[in-house]
Amino acid sequence: MLDCLSKIEAFALTDMGKIRKNNEDALLLLAESQCYVVSDGMGGGKAGEVASSMMINEIESVFAKPSTIPAEREGMVIRSACKVNELIRAHAEQHNYASMGATFVCLLMDPWHPGMATVFHAGDSRVYRVREEKIELLTEDHTVAAASKVDENQLAPMFRGVLTNALGTGAEFFLERTGVDVQEKDIFIICSDGLSRMIPDSDILYICNALQRESCEMVCSELVKAALDNGGRDNISVIVVRINKAGSEYQPTEEESEIEAEAQVRNLMDLSDTPSTEVLSASELYKKP
């Protein structure tokens, strides 16, 4: 990768929890590519495990030969998600699984602009950013509650936690893209709902602030422990990413700039069904957050 990349510390941890008999979560930490992924499988047993593993394996495969061109990297994520969406659907039909699917969330750093990153997500796995002792949720859950703009507890029990979008939903699937800014000392938390439903955002913030001088491994461990202490009713997966030192801006060659522009247009077309991007031009989609 480029020498101008930010200096990043990261650690990933997953736990089965106290209730589940297997772990349907899967996660991926690609340090060299600065790509971080969590996928929460649905459907029970092997169905959920297979669905989340499909997504992780595909991302790992395409990043085996990573590109340093930002839009090409984003395209690798976009097309991987679209491909796995269809693979899960086909697998479910072949094995007669009624509700096989997976959430997907990815934090992808920009190798040209160290002050920028992109979040992709489908479902209710989340990305938080902790900055200057404040926490911000960078994703919006694709759930009945979020779509209805009400608290989960206001819904009838049968609709609580119900997803409106996930890998495996076929033609209804969409991938949401969010550009985010990055600063030194930022901490990003990428997690499944086994964390976010077990502890409030204020507790996530407290742990990050209390351990800001400790390793990402310790922060991960304490977050998982807190979720377990609060009941651990689901699988818990967490990736903690800390920006220790921001890199420098990279000046691409003319050829690289042309490749970047072409990739941006292709990505825009591939994301055309995503509600948050369908009316944007390539310049708007890729402007700095």
Question: 236: domain CATH number?
Answer: 3.60.40.10
Closest CA to 102 of 156, 170, 43: 43
Sole residue written with tokens 């409030």? 200
Tell me if 78 is assigned to some domain: yes
Full residue range of the structural domain in which residue 12 is found: 7-249
Kindly report, residue by residue over 212-258, the tens digit of the pLDDT.
999 999 999 999 999 999 999 999 999 999 999 988 999 999 999 99
Kindly report, residue by residue over 106-136, the tens digit of the pLDDT.
999 999 999 999 999 999 999 999 999 999 9
Tell me if 260 is assigned to some domain: no
Distances (CA, A) of 100 to 20, 144, 171, 192: 17, 18, 15, 17
C-alpha 197: how far from its chain's center?
Answer: 16
Sole residue written with tokens 């959430």? 103
- What is the average pLDDT across 157-168? 87
Tell me if 281 is assigned to some domain: no
Tell me if 271 is assigned to some domain: no
Query: Which region among 94-98, 250-254, 259-263 has the lowest average model confidence (pLDDT)?
Result: 94-98
Tell me if 173 is assigned to some domain: yes
Give the pLDDT band of residue 284 (cuts 50, 70, 90).
Answer: low
Alpha-carbon Rg for the chain in angstroms: 18
Tell me if 171 is assigned to some domain: yes
Split into its structural domains, the chain has a count of 1
The number of C-alpha atoms within 13 Å of 50 and in the hemisphere containing its C-beta is 17
Query: Which region among 3-17, 57-71, 267-281 has the lowest average model confidence (pLDDT)?
Result: 267-281
Please tell me the predicted confidence (pLDDT) of residue 44.
79
Tokens at 251, concatenated: 């000046």
Please tell me the predicted confidence (pLDDT) of residue 98.
84
Beta strands in the chain (DSSP E): 7-15, 25-30, 35-42, 101-102, 104-109, 116-122, 126-131, 134-137, 176-181, 187-191, 236-245
Tell me if 286 is assigned to some domain: no
Tell me if 284 is assigned to some domain: no
